[in-house]
Amino acid sequence: MPKSNGRIDGEQFQELMYQALETEIGGQEVYKAAIGCAQNKELKEDCQKDLKETENHERILRSTFERIGLDAEIDTPGRSVLRAKAEALVQSMKAALQDGGPIAAQLVAAECVVEAETKDHQNWELIGELAEALDGEKAKALREAFEEVEEEEDQHLYHTMGWARELWMETLGLPAVLPPPEEEKMVTTAIGAARAKQSRKEML
C-alpha cells in the first residue's frame, strides 16, 4: 500500500480524532443508562465489562492526543453533535423505562448501544486506515492505540447486535439464543458475526 502522507486532510484527521474521543466519553453515559435497563444478568455483566473498556479507550485516546500534539479539550461542531446524540440515547432509555416498562427498556437499551458502538467501531476502523497511510511518530502512536482497542470494538459492536436481535426474538415469542451466538463464539469480525448468526438454529 502506498503511503499517502501528502494527501491526508489534516483538519479532517483532527476532526476524526475529536469525534473518536467524544464517542468514547458519550459511550460511557450510554452504557451506564443501559446497565440500568438490563434485565438479563449476562447482558448486564457484558455492559459492565464494555463500560470499563470504554473508559480505558478514553484514556488511550487522551494519551494518543498527547503524543501527537492534539489538545483534548478543544470542542468542535462535530463533538457537540455527538454529545447531543449520546444525550438523546440516554433520554430515550430513561423514557422507555418510565413509559414502556423493563422489557421494552431493555430492548431500547440494546439498540442504543448498537447505535453508539456503530460510530465507535467506524472511528477506530478509520484510525486504523490512517495508521497505515501515515508515516513516522504519528503513525506509530495511532497504530499502537489501534492495536490495543480494535478487537474490543469488534466485540462491542457484533456482540451487542446479537443481543438486540435475540432479545427481540424472545419478546416476539420466537426461539432465542441467549447469550447470543456472537457472544458465545467470541466473534471479532463481520464474517464471524455472519457465521454465528447462521449457526444460531443449531444452538437452539
* CB neighbourhood size of 81 (10 A): 12
Query: What whole-number distance in Å separates Cα of residue 141 and Cα of residue 128?
Result: 11
Closest CA to 21 of 90, 84, 75: 75
Closest CA to 178 of 164, 158, 192: 164
Q: Which is nearer to Fe ion, 72 or 103 (CB)?
A: 72
* Residue 10 CB burial class (10 angstroms; 0-12, 13-18, ≥19): exposed
Residues between 36 and 75 that touch Fe ion (CB under 5 A): 54, 57
Shortest spacing between CB 135 and Fe ion, in angstroms: 26
Query: What whole-number distance in Å separates Cα of residue 37 and Cα of residue 102?
Result: 7
156 binds Fe ion (CB under 5 A): yes
Site string for Fe ion, 14-33 (x = CB under 5 A): ----------x---------
Q: Which is nearer to Fe ion, 79 or 156 (CB)?
A: 156
Shortest spacing between CB 94 and Fe ion, in angstroms: 21
Shortest spacing between CB 105 and Fe ion, in angstroms: 21
| Total site size for Fe ion, rule CB under 5 A | 7
Shortest spacing between CB 3 and Fe ion, in angstroms: 27
Q: Which of the ranges 41-49, 102-110, 120-128, 136-144 carries the binding residues for Fe ion, by CB under 5 A?
A: 120-128
154 binds Fe ion (CB under 5 A): no
Q: Which is nearer to Fe ion, 24 or 183 (CB)?
A: 24
The Cβ-side half-sphere exposure at 193, using a 13 Å CA radius, reads 14
120 binds Fe ion (CB under 5 A): yes
Q: Which is nearer to Fe ion, 57 or 200 (CB)?
A: 57
Task: Give me the residues that bind Fe ion (CB under 5 A), please.
Answer: 24, 54, 57, 117, 120, 153, 156
